[in-house]
Amino acid sequence: MKYYSTSDSSKRASLEEVLLKSIDANDGLYMPEIIPVMPDTFFSEMEHLSPAEIAFRVTKPVFGDDIPEDILKSIADKALNFEIPVVKLSDRLYVLELFHGPTFAFKDVGARFLAGLLSWFAGRTGREITVLAATSGDTGGAVANAFSEKEGIRVVVLYPAGRISPVQEKQITRAGRNITAVKLQGDFDDCQRLVKMAFSDADLKKKIVLTSANSINFGRLFPQTVYYFQAVSKIKKDSDRIAVSVPSGNFGNLTSGIIAARMGLKISKFIASTNINNSVPIYLKTGIYTPHPSFKTISSAMDVGAPGNFKRVLHLFGDNHKAIKNTISGYWFTDDETLAGMRELYESYGYLADPHTAVAYLGLKKYMDSNICTGIFLATAHPGKFADETFRATGTVPDLPAFQPAGDSVRVASPNDYSFVRKIIEKSF
C-alpha cells in the first residue's frame, strides 16, 4: 500500500514515512491510495468477533503489506485489550462507550495502536523515534500511557502550566522513564505553536526522527475505524438506516468513521456534533469554511477552531460540498444546552454522560427529529473525568475511575520559548 498526501496527490509515500513523519513538508496529511472494501464474509462474521479481532482483520488489508501478520495481530491484541460496549437506551437509540481504556477516553484506542506500530518500526530501523505532542489534557495522558516503556521511543508532551487537572498532570508526569513531561509557562495554543515550530524545523529533523501522536498521524487515525464496525455489528438489524453521531474537535474520530463506511460498513449518515467551535457545522450549512481561534467550553477536548483533519474530509469527497452534505449533517450546541442534554440523558434513561458525549446525543436527537433511523452516539470520555460538570447537570457524583499512577512526578518546567523547548526535544539540556 502506498500513501498520497492531501497537499500533493501525485507523490507517493511508504507506511514507514507516513508513521515517522505524520505530515509532509507542505502540511499535507497522508491517506492510503486505495481504501479496501471488506469481504462479505467479514460482515457476516463480525458480530462474533472481539474488538482485537476486528482490529486485526480491518487493518490487515491496509497495513498488511508492510507489517508481518503475526506482528500486526499482536499489536491489535495489545492495543484493544478492553471492552467497547454498545449500550441500548431505547429501541432506536444506542450509545457506543469508547472510554473503557486505561485513561478513560476514546483516544486510548488510536494511541495504543500507534504505539505498537511505532515501536515495531523503531526496532526495524534501529533508530530512536521521538514522539512530540501538545495537550490540553486528554491527549497527553492517553499518549503517555500508551507509549510508556515502549522500546525505542521517547515521548515529549507539552502541557500548559496550571491549566490541566491534577489527575491529568499525574497521568503525564508519572508515565515512565521514556516520557518527558514539559510544563510550559503558556496556554494550550502556545504548546501547539511550539510543536508546530519543531515539525517545521528542518535542522532538528536532520538530527532526530520526530513524529506526532495526534490524529494527524494516520497510524492513530485508521485503527479508530474498528469501533464503528464493532458498533454496527452489535445492533440488531431493526433498521436499514443507521446514523452515527460523533462529538468532534479535530475531526479525527469522524474521519475514521467515514473511512469505515468506505470499507463497506453500512452507515447512512454521520452527524458532526460540536460545541460553539462550529466551523464545520457552519461549512455544512453554507459551503463556506471559516476556521477561527478556539473558544473555551465545558467540552474542552473539542475546543478546536481550525480542525486539523477537515482537509482529509474534503479530500475524501473531492471537495464537493453537496456530496459531503449527503453523508454528514452538522449541529452545534452551547454549554447550557450541553448541561441540559446531560440532565435529559440522566432523567430519561438513567444514563450519566460527560459533556462531550452529551453533545453527541444532542446532535443525534436533532437529526432524528426529522429522519427515521437507528441512532448511535459515541461516548468519548468517562463521566467521572468530568465530575464537576456531571454533578452540576444531574446532582449525581459519578464514580471516579481512580487512574492515579504511582511513583514520583517527573517534569521539566519550560519558559514559553522555542529554543528552550528545542533543547528538551533534542535531549541536549
Residues that bind ligand PLP in the complex, under the rule CB under 6 A: 105, 107, 138, 215, 247-253, 301-302, 356, 380-381
Minimal distance in Å, beta carbon 250 to ligand PLP? 3
Q: Which is nearer to ligand PLP, 243 or 254 (CB)?
A: 254
When the beta carbons of 155 and 221 are compared against ligand PLP, the nearer one is: 221
Report the nearest approach of ligand PLP to the CB of residue 217 (Å): 12
Least distance to ligand PLP, CB of residue 14, Å: 25
Whichever of 83 and 91 has its CB closer to ligand PLP, that residue is: 83
Rounded to a whole number of angstroms, the minimum distance from the CB of residue 16 to ligand PLP is 24
- Look at residues 123, 169, 183, 179 and name the one whose alpha carbon lies nearest to residue 147: 179
Q: How far is the CB of 91 from ligand PLP (least distance, A)?
A: 26
Closer residue to ligand PLP, CB minimum distance, 102 or 152: 102
Q: Cβ of residue 130: shortest distance to ligand PLP, in angstroms?
A: 22
363: cell is 446532535
- The candidate with the shortest Cα–Cα distance to 31, out of 234, 177, 218, 279, is 218
Q: How far is the CB of 361 from ligand PLP (least distance, A)?
A: 13
Least distance from ligand PLP to the Cβ atom of residue 237, Å: 28
Nearer to ligand PLP, 11 or 296 (CB): 296
Task: Please say which residue, 338 or 380, places its beta carbon nearer to ligand PLP.
Answer: 380
List the Cα angle 399/403/405 in 5-degree steps.
Answer: 155
Name residue 134's beta-bridge partners. Answer: 158
Between 253 and 338, CB nearer to ligand PLP: 253
| Shortest Å, Cβ 340 to ligand PLP | 19
Q: In the bound complex, what is the minimum distance in angstroms from residue 381's beta carbon to ligand PLP?
A: 4
171 φ/ψ angles, rounded to the nearest 5 degrees: -60, -30
Q: What is the 3-state secondary structure (H, E, C) of the chain?
A: CCEEECCEEEEEECHHHHHHHCECCCCCEEEECCCCCCCHHHHHHHHHCCHHHHHHHHHHHHHCCCCCHHHHHHHHHHHCCCCCCEEEEECCEEEEECCCCCCCECHHHHHHHHHHHHHHHHHHHCCCEEEEEECCCHHHHHHHHHHCCCCCEEEEEEEECCCCCHHHHHHHHCCCCCEEEEEECCCHHHHHHHHHHHHCCHHHHHHCEEEECCCCCHHHHHHHHHHHHHHHHHCCCCCCCEEEEEECCCCHHHHHHHHHHHCCCCCCEEEEEECCCCHHHHHHHHCCCCCCCCCCCCCHHHCCCCCCCHHHHHHHCCCCHHHHHHHEEEEECCHHHHHHHHHHHHHHHCCCCCHHHHHHHHHHHHHHHCCCCEEEEEECECHHHHHHHHHHHHCCCCCCCCCCCCCCCCCEEECCCHHHHHHHHHCCC
- Give the pairing of strands 209-212 and 179-184: unpaired
